[in-house]
Amino acid sequence: MLAAVAAALMGLAIVFAFFVAPEDADQGISQRIFYFHVPIALTAYAAFGWGAFKGLLLLWRKEERYDLESYVAIHQGTIFGSLTLLTGSIWAKASWGHWWLWSENQLVLFLVLFLFYSAYFMLRFSIEEGPRRANISAVYALFGVVLIPVSFLAIRLAENIIHPTVFTRDGPQMSGIMFLTFCIAWVAMSVLAYALYRLELLGKRLDSNLRELREALS
């Protein structure tokens, strides 16, 4: 059900992004990747935030199920984060002629986060399963959401800003239909991420139940 809604919304977003939204005057066709790149990035942030929130719940309430939920959210966040790097890199190539630009603050931030969360998996899978691992993973996930604003500030301090700022304090600098397309794509991406999150969670839970059953039988 959720997957069907996600697929329908994605289809709608693709139709809007390619056929309904008007061509950007400056950037032409390459601007259309914006409708995917930015929603993917926002979804990745949301997934990292969700993972940290579940981690906080784990530390607070000591319920085992939050560990898996936190892990799956961060896994999805890392997948969407890699996609952000990929789409951002394509956009940078189309707009500025380089696959990688250090002056692109958001991309650099995602690179740092990608390194940080890759280490999360290294750490998690080298600790024996149990409450200790759950606690350590949760604390590390909390570090992640603190690192996001701190790194962002650091990168801004380190570089001058040439990233096209779409949202300013004056509100979005987009025509109505472009903004609508962006919103549809954003909702579609979030629903897709949530559907994937539920799916992976279901699989992982099934897996652990099966393992427990097998241990009980043997």
Partner 1 sequence: MSYLADVATLARKDLRLELRARDTLPAMLLFVVSTLVVFHFALPAGADEVAAQGLLWVALLFTALLGLARAWAPERESGALEGLVLAPCDRSAIWLGKAAAVFAFLAAVELVALPAFALFFGSVDAATIAGVALASVGICAVGTLLAAMAAASRTRELVLPLLFLPLAIPLVVGGVGASISPDSGRYLAFLALYDAIFSILCWASFEYVVSE
One of 142, 174, 180, 199 touching partner 1 (CB under 8 A) = 142
Bridge partners of 167? Answer: 172
Q: DSSP readout, the chain?
A: -HHHHHHHHHHHHHHIIIIISPPBTTTBGGGGGHHHHHHHHHHHHHHHHHHHHHHHHHHHH--THHHHHHHHHHHHHHHHHHHHHHHHHHHHHHHHS-S--TT-HHHHHHHHHHHHHHHHHHHHTTS-SSHHHHHHHHHHHHHHHHHHHHHHHHHHHHS---S---EETTEE-S-HHHHHHHHHHHHHHHHHHHHHHHHHHHHHHHHHHHHHHHHHH-
Least Cβ distance, residue 155 to partner 1 (angstroms):
7
Q: Interface with partner 1 includes 116 (CB under 8 A)?
A: yes
Q: Interface with partner 1 includes 82 (CB under 8 A)?
A: no
One of 26, 128, 170, 215 touching partner 1 (CB under 8 A) = 128
Q: Contact region for partner 1 (CB under 8 A) — 1-9, 44-52, 135-143, 173-181?
A: 135-143
Q: Which is nearer to partner 1, 59 or 180 (CB)?
A: 59
One of 150, 161, 202, 206 touching partner 1 (CB under 8 A) = 150
Q: Interface with partner 1 includes 65 (CB under 8 A)?
A: no
Q: Interface with partner 1 includes 12 (CB under 8 A)?
A: no
Q: Interior CA angle at 129 toward 64 and 193, to 5°?
A: 60
Q: Which is nearer to partner 1, 24 or 159 (CB)?
A: 159
Q: Contact region for partner 1 (CB under 8 A) — 15-23, 46-54, 74-82, 110-118?
A: 110-118
Q: Interface with partner 1 includes 138 (CB under 8 A)?
A: yes
Q: Contact region for partner 1 (CB under 8 A) — 72-80, 91-99, 128-136, 181-189?
A: 128-136
Residue 97: count of CB within 10 angstroms of its CB: 8
Give contact residues for partner 1 (rule: CB under 8 A): 59, 112-113, 115-116, 118-119, 122-123, 126-128, 130-133, 135-136, 138-140, 142-143, 146-147, 150-151, 153-155, 157-158
